[in-house]
Structure 1
């Protein structure tokens, strides 16, 4: 009887033009639903989406069995080496991803994954401050959080990015291997936590949502989330990169080691790297595209928006987070101390 039901289900799937399911494990509010619908229409795979709010949450889920539950994941650049080392992902079959050629040169052969053996760039951007422009002037410095805070604020629940921004405020590199500098950054965060204006740590879109709702005046967020919030709340919300600079990031597409549908995963990655689909993705997310072939299709206003595509001068103050190998533990230890006190 079970065989009969399985045969019937397979027959109905074919009759309806569905080949099976593609399962994405992705950040909140990070893909245009219309792109998923278009993928289903073109290739016949139904798309299922599960969400996470931090890289740590995503990796923990993979290690707890998710490595055989999902087909595509979207980790940040500085987590990629660890994910590869933990054998949580499989190499890409580049012959099935001809659109890899569309990536801008600076996203080909990245230092965290030489030759793009395991990853293909998805979006890139920066961190900074979303703030209530109807309450406070544009923040010029991270000092509005770390020196003498005078309004409710939320910090980002991401160790390397949050500590990285404190290090920029202090004049250090976001990739310093000097334990004393990282410990100093931890002390700054502990002082911020003691402020009566500190409202907690939030991952993903949580901080942005609380600023939009009026519960907080400032939040450390990803730029695309803030740009969307500013458009949806004109006159109330805006985004700023403090004068000291901030962290840069690249999120990539990777295929878990035991992905149930690797064929669909390769099709999806290639689909995202199509010029027009890549532009549609960035026009929706309000993040910068790593897809050079997509640039002509990006909304002209976004191409000119320094909150999305920082100026050359601003880029000098921004810094990509690098995987530091054994020295990652310095940041992990300081972050654990900050969160536990």
Structure 2
């Protein structure tokens, strides 16, 4: 009897030991964060630091336009990715389509670090679904060594054949290019008036035919650096990165006005690891990390606590942090209804197929 008891106890101890080590192994197993983000938009060192801090692994996938990102989510990516980085004006449509889930603000105490002017904006008034990531403008990058000193700082470099200085490229991003054409024509950058959209369509088609093409994301920046293009429609931070590679590259906000945008972090509705996603958002909002992010990619930070840590040269650069005169020419794009989106999408389809 004692032998049987001893055997049973020994077996029980073995089972408990196996259970203990199984749980220990499970706890130690690295979690994976699937990050879906614009190309060249985060310092790899930040990802390494997050992996170390959370015993996790970050897998990065990239896109070059909001339209591509939304199409991917609608095609099944909503259950594949943990973090996406959309631009402000597409957020309401993503919520309407059921692509995003509410944030767990209990896991994001660093929300307190945000600048008040980037909190509670109309596209997400309670910041239920999004947290600011970076902000900037969409303007014109150019080669200083190939344009005359006294050229007109206008969207005419793209849309007026008389102001064309050699090859130029347009950005393959629907709302940005429609807004650029609208600014040049004197229209609201978010116009959906049919007659105005027709003029925008004709202007974009003419420009596209004279251009070296529509290029997504950082493509315009790379064309400027290589010298393939003399002028390009680019995001402000990309132009500044290009200037680091080639000092002959400049950037300006056209006199007619330009699009100011805010990219935000959000969690897809069926993210496989939402808790880790919330912790990633909180990590990015840390003051030191926020400054590291903007010092790396040369876009402006919405993180007030990070501002004192921004490279002084960047902090004083009006291409990154516009002065009051320039800021007055900037406009956020309005949120469009599904019907309005169909109108502008039809224009963009006609442009791309021309």
The TM-score, its normalising length taken from structure 1, stands at: 0.93
**Structure 1 CA distance, aligned partners of 2:274 and 2:208?**
44
Where does residue 185 of structure 1 map in the other structure?
A: 200
**Structure 2 CA distance, aligned partners of 1:22 and 1:139?**
46
- Equivalent residues of 2:191, 2:197 under 8 A apart: yes
Where does residue 98 of structure 2 map in the other structure?
A: 87
**Structure 2 CA distance, aligned partners of 1:31 and 1:13?**
30
2:30 aligned to which of 19, 23, 29:
19
1:255 aligned to which of 267, 275, 291:
267
Q: CA deviation at 1:131?
A: 1.1
Where does residue 64 of structure 1 map in the other structure?
A: 75
Q: CA deviation at 1:19?
A: 3.1
Question: Would you say 1:164 and 2:179 are equivalent positions?
Answer: yes
- Equivalent residues of 1:77, 1:322 under 8 A apart: no
Where does residue 105 of structure 1 map in the other structure?
A: 116
Task: Structure 2: give runs of 5+ residues left out of the alignment.
Answer: 1-19
**Structure 2 CA distance, aligned partners of 1:200 and 1:139?**
22
Question: Would you say 1:51 and 2:68 are equivalent positions?
Answer: no
Question: Would you say 1:304 and 2:316 are equivalent positions?
Answer: yes
Q: CA deviation at 1:70?
A: 0.6
Question: Would you say 1:146 and 2:159 are equivalent positions?
Answer: yes
- Equivalent residues of 1:227, 1:239 under 8 A apart: yes
Aligned ranges for residues 1-341 of structure 1 at < 5 Å?
14-15=27-28, 18-137=29-148, 139-148=152-161, 149-195=164-210, 198-234=211-247, 236-325=248-337, 326-341=339-354
- Equivalent residues of 1:75, 1:251 under 8 A apart: yes
Cα distance 1:316–1:19, how it changes in 2: closer, same or farther (>3 A)?
Answer: same
**Structure 2 CA distance, aligned partners of 1:139 and 1:50?**
39
Cα distance 1:14–1:333, how it changes in 2: closer, same or farther (>3 A)?
Answer: same
2:126 match: secondary structure: helix
Cα displacement string for residues 164-209 of structure 1 (whole angstroms, at most 9, x for unaligned residues): 01111111111223221122111111111232xx111011001111
**Structure 2 CA distance, aligned partners of 1:216 and 1:143?**
16
1:117 match: secondary structure: coil
Q: Looking at CA atoms only, which structure, 1 or 2, has the larger radius of gyration?
A: 2
- Equivalent residues of 1:13, 1:20 under 8 A apart: no
Cα distance 1:10–1:181, how it changes in 2: closer, same or farther (>3 A)?
Answer: farther
**Structure 1 CA distance, aligned partners of 2:23 and 2:342?**
49
Cα displacement string for residues 201-258 of structure 1 (whole angstroms, at most 9, x for unaligned residues): 0110011111111111111010000001102211x21112111111111100000111
- Equivalent residues of 2:113, 2:304 under 8 A apart: yes
Alignment root-mean-square deviation, CA: 1.7
Q: CA deviation at 1:264?
A: 0.5
Q: CA deviation at 1:10?
A: 7.9
Q: CA deviation at 1:330?
A: 2.3
1:22 match: secondary structure: strand
Cα displacement string for residues 97-133 of structure 1 (whole angstroms, at most 9, x for unaligned residues): 1111211112111100120000001000001111111
Q: CA deviation at 1:328?
A: 2.4
**Structure 2 CA distance, aligned partners of 1:289 and 1:173?**
26
Cα distance 1:264–1:286, how it changes in 2: closer, same or farther (>3 A)?
Answer: same
**Structure 1 CA distance, aligned partners of 2:117 and 2:192?**
25
Where does residue 10 of structure 2 map in the other structure?
A: none
Cα displacement string for residues 258-308 of structure 1 (whole angstroms, at most 9, x for unaligned residues): 111111100000010111111111111100111111111111111110110
